[in-house]
Amino acid sequence: MKVLCGIGGSDDSFRALDRTVERAAVANDDLTVAVVDNEDSSVAPDDVMERAQEAVDDAGIDADVRRVGGDPGSRLVEIAETEGFEEIVLGGGHTSPMGKITIGSIAEFVLLNAKTSVTLVR
């Protein structure tokens, strides 16, 4: 399966990265990790790139890790459509004290606009 994992430096995105890399190693997925700008993250994009590359290297898989500029949600949807990805994986989704799920703006945009399957890792 051709999988696009979008990460921006949040704890949720690193969980999504780790789970996606684990799956890619077992299922032999064609994985691309897209590092996007996330203004809510305190982790620098270069550090996110390094963390993603380490995860891929540690798993012993061949995956493309790339920096993606522009509006994160729009770019992830665009890349998925133009490059034929079958799934987009994102971190996000928190349960509020009232038991409702809340998601960030990037994940919300991708969920509402992607024509491909979207997996949200919490």
Please write the tens of the pLDDT for every residue from 7-52. 999 899 999 999 999 999 999 999 999 999 988 788 999 999 999 9
pLDDT band for position 102 (cuts 50, 70, 90): confident
% the chain with pLDDT above 70: 100
pLDDT band for position 78 (cuts 50, 70, 90): very high
Q: pLDDT value at position 40?
A: 79
Six-digit token pair at 38? 């996330």
Across the range 56-77, mean pLDDT stands at 97
Look up the domain containing 53 and give its range.
2-121
Mean predicted lDDT score pLDDT of the chain: 94
Residue 21 · residue 14 · CB < 8 Å: no
Where residue 80 sits, what CATH number does that domain have?
3.40.50.620
Scanning the structure block, which residue is given the tokens 């979207």?
118
**67: CB partners within 8 A, 6+ apart:** 35, 45, 49
Domain count, the chain: 1
pLDDT band for position 95 (cuts 50, 70, 90): confident
Residue 122 · residue 12 · CB < 8 Å: yes
pLDDT band for position 96 (cuts 50, 70, 90): confident
Q: pLDDT value at position 103?
A: 87
